[in-house]
Structure 1
Amino acid sequence: MSKKKNYTAQFIGDVESYDKNKPFVIGSPETYNAGLFKYSYKRAGLERIKLFGGKRLDADPCPQHVIYSTVPEETVKIFDVLPVRTFPIFNKRAVGVLEKICPDDFQAFPIKIINSPDKKKLEPFENNDYFIINITNTVDALDKENSNLKCYEDGSLYGVENLVLKSDVMGGHHLSRDETLHSKKLVSYELALELIKQKITGIAFEIDIAY
């Protein structure tokens, strides 16, 4: 396993020439192995869809959800943010940065990290130091004219290639989902810089293809 510093928060792409008034897309560090952590869709159930909505919730809609780890607990602790594509998973230190910069943009619900049942030789553990982040707003960030949209036959959008984002769309938010493509989790330049300054591990900030 690589040392912790290899997973420190980072920009991906030519950030120097990037329009800093555009949001950045939350991604994973370039050195990250995508097989380390898996969100259990089965344990969460269909209620998990509510966590994609970009709205404040009265309670965690799926309190039984867990993250399965294929690595020992000491390796889990390397990460302040678990690079799980489905939802942001932050530990207490990373949540503290959100509370400082954008306390009204998120809710943090506890989530368990446990050893993967597929890894028979892995010592069993349960870690309760992490939270699933519910982003509580959406912004109109997707530049539909200049992005390559992927749609079903009925015209409904399911993905995008060659992503282009619009400028000046965050509206005072520092953490948001795109209102059209909710899977895109967005951060402001200010929040990205603070997460980098605090050397938060397990997260990266991607620019759009226009740069």
Structure 2
Amino acid sequence: MTEYSALVIDDDTWMQRVISKTLQSYGFKKTFLAANGFDGIALAVEHTPHLIVLDILMPELSGHLTLKILKKIPVTQNIPVLMISTLSDVEYLGLAIKSGTAGFISKPFTSSDIYDKLLDIYGKDMLEMVAKGEYSGELYPSEDFLKNNDSKDILKSSVTPKIPLTEKERSCSKTSFEQDQLLQHYQDDERRSSDSIKNMLLKSKK
């Protein structure tokens, strides 16, 4: 019987528990929890889970940068990463797609929303075997998912709001970035994070 694992990276401990319990009910019996990108990367390298669920907005190291690092590390680059976003995170989604995310779940979400995304990634037959602990092969996205889901499809299915935002809701949400402002934002973010990443890698070598 195969035991499948998942890593949840989110600075909200309540959200960690909710996602963890949901994944366990779908067959990912062993779950690892991290409150920031640095700890998440360390756990991913140590345990190489079959799935990673990553919040897109986190302090210190953003979800986007965490994803970029995971995709550059040989032992983690092929792990499917499902990202958690909100309707106000639209500015960040395109960059995350380019970095290799397998998909998005928009807040607020239900357990069935998570299942639907897993279904999109792995396919019904594989997911049923995982739930029963019967699947003994490598757990990677299905060929249909890789073939039929390009970046435009992922973005369209992830950020289209079910209920249009009112003017008041828009004013309360995160201020939109123009394309050049967004690029500058991430360049600044990477520069601020580079020293922290170096320190983390140095500590791991000690």
Q: TM-score, length-normalised on structure 2?
A: 0.23
Higher strand share: 1
Q: TM-score, normalised by structure 1?
A: 0.22
| More RCO (CA 8 Å, sep 6+) | 1
